[in-house]
Amino acid sequence: MKPRHSPLAFLRRVEGLPVIGVLVLLYGAFLITAPAVFTRPLIYMSFLQTVAPPLVLGLGLTLVITAGEIDLSFPAVVALSGFAFAWAFKNLNTPLAPWIGIVLALAAGALAGYINGLLVAKIHVPSIMATLATQFFWYGITILIANGLQVNIKEIEDTAVHTILTGRIFGVIPAQAVWGLALAILLWFILNRHTFGEAIMFIGDNPNVARVMGINVETTRIKLFTLMGVLAAFAGVLLTTEINVFYPTQGQGYMLPVMAAVFIGGTLISGGQGSIVGTFFGTYVIGSLQAGVVATGITSYWVQSVMGLIMAVAVSINVLIGEGRISTVSARIRHWAVPAHPQTGGEPPANNDASS
Amino acid sequence: MADAPVEQYAAQLVNIEKYFGLVCALKKVTLEIGRNEIVGLIGDNGAGKSTLVKILTGVFPPTSGELYVAGRQVDFRRYNVKQARAYGVETVYQDRSLGEKQVLWRNFFVGRQITRRFGFIDVKKEKQIASEIMLNTIGFRGKGITVDSRVSVLSGGERQGVSIGRAMHFKAELIILDEPTTALSLKEVRKVLDFVHRIKEGGKACIYISHDIQDVYEISDRFIIMDRAKIVASIAKEEISLKGLGEFLLEYAHGFKDKAES
């Protein structure tokens, strides 16, 4: 049997090429329609600054979706960790307060992620339900312990943490953009060159195969959700540091744009294959739209329509090059909602076996 | 003292029994698989073939009995799928041996990756060895398939070939093929049978489970026939013709049927 050759198959050779194309076209369109804004560096600096938190979230979510799972709780973890960070900075009377804040925030994220992992891997709650529940839970807890109030941390600007996380390198480049890039590179190597990443891909492809091949599916899932929690917490710290304030509903706007970015980037909703490069550029596409469309002078009501249009085009390209058959999509959504393998001692049920 | 005779077997089962609650799935099964023997395991649905295979491959332990793999006694408390592979028992399942969306080189090494520091995979080396296995061990040639191809572009027979090649590369002493030809076209079945011949040539042992008597007859050195949790016959290929084997099985099925009706 010959490999299926689609006329657009060449797009597959370079990871993330379709979405890079979309990004180039988008910026081209912006340059033509709003040259005054897009020929100056300021707007790009602004993108680098605002895209960092959703980028970090998208990178984590790429791994989760590649493993065939979903995480809906990350916006709540952004809020929870943002509060942990702001609270520690405000209330601990030591020069180390911002550092303790970071540790506390990341620990909170790890805990939230670990709980997701336990629910999914040990109790076999479908991830869409488990993380929907924890999303509500952590927002509730955050609002409760924050008394529903925002926390101003203007003084963070005078700390080394602020400089390291969100300062301006050489006075221009936002540090958080470098953090995002560094994490993207690290996670690309984790996914594509590390045994953990390979385990993620095989689990997303077919957990039974993964198990038979000696991959510890449970442990990998728990580690994965914990990692997602830590990344979401880091995104929360970046956001809170950048805007100098924690507010109890922070992160809420990230849910759908981050998912859109991941799918635009070519990560398969059916699991088994994910593209860190695609998510990287996909996040910049989504993150540039708002400011870009406004700059062109048309009403900002257009933003959502344009976002939808771009998503439709990018995802269509991914399907056309044979990377995301539509039939697998409904199957995956079903898996998110229904446990695919009721456990009988870590093995699929006996009546599935083609023998005796 | 017992070592010498034991080692001539790839696997040896002594009085293996398995109960699921009150249901007896295997009753005092004693069986030896020779070092370079292809054994055809035949039996109706529910005869206990699958249970037997699962005990061999560490999916679950038996209720009682002993198992020796390549002369070493298996400690069932520590025996699992991974351990079984380390002992040299590999199973090729029809539909869950390979990750479909993954490239071939990853499929060859998943779970047993060649790593550098910190668990990072040595991709170059894995690809090179995978390529050698494809050419030399299983004889994939000039079909436009490389180690960078995804499994989804392979035919059913080719997939079995990859699994068998992988098992042989990892020095499996005993390769278990659990209905490897179900749902394959005749041409693809031919390929699988050729791969099994390579197991024999490679000096390894194989348990071949299938309902297709013709295929089983062609490749097996010996036939083990199971019925209702027991081994009812062990017949060497020299002792019986294909027609004879078919008649024997048919008789058995009828005898069983008569008994059940009376």
Summarised one tens digit per residue, pLDDT across range B100-143 is: 889 999 999 988 888 888 889 998 999 999 988 888 777 776 56
Residue A333's identity, in one-letter code, is I
The CATH code of the domain that includes A133 is 1.10.3470
Check if A205 contacts B (Cβ < 8 Å): yes
pLDDT digits over B190-212, tens only? 888 888 888 888 888 999 998 88
Looking at the 3D structure of chain A, how many domains does it have? 1
Quick check: is A346 in a domain? no
Minimal CA separation from B1 to chain A, in Å: 35
Average pLDDT over residues A120-133: 95
Domain parsing of chain B, residue ranges: 3-94+175-180+204-261
Cα dist from B145 to A3, A209, A266, B135, B172, whole Å: 8, 22, 24, 11, 25
Helix axes A74-91, A255-264, angle to 10 degrees: 120
Quick check: is A356 in a domain? no
Give CA–CA dist B3/A169, Å, rounded: 71
Query: Is the model more confident about B38 or about B256?
Result: B38
Per-residue model confidence (pLDDT) at position A352: 36
- Segments forming the whole domain that contains residue A170: 9-341
Q: What is the pTM of this model?
A: 0.84
Query: Is the model more confident about A120 or about A298?
Result: A120
Quick check: is A347 in a domain? no
Give CA–CA dist A77/A64, Å, rounded: 15
Tally of residues, chain B: 262
User: Shortest CA distance to A283 belongs to which of A275, A271, A295?
Assistant: A275
Quick check: is A218 in a domain? yes
Quick check: is A127 in a domain? yes
Query: Is the model more confident about A333 or about B25?
Result: B25
Chain B residue numbers with beta carbons less than 8 Å from the beta carbon of A209 are 96-99
- In CATH, which superfamily holds the domain spanning B3-94+175-180+204-261? P-loop containing nucleotide triphosphate hydrolases (3.40.50.300)
Sign of the four-CA dihedral B184, A205, B135, B175:
negative
DSSP A60-120: HHHHHHHTT-----HHHHHHHHHHHHHHHHHH--STTHHHHHHHHHHHHHHHHHHHHHIII
Token reading at A208 = 């039974």
Quick check: is A159 in a domain? yes
Residue A306's identity, in one-letter code, is V
Which residues of A, range 255-314, sit inside 8 Å of B by Cβ? 268, 272-273
* Average pLDDT over all residues of chain A: 86
Which residues of B, range 18-37, sit inside 8 Å of A by Cβ? none
Residue A254 predicted with pLDDT over 70: yes
Burial of B183 (0-12, 13-18, 19+ CB in 10 A): exposed
Minimal CA separation from B5 to chain A, in Å: 30
Confidence of residue B72 (pLDDT cuts 50, 70, 90): confident
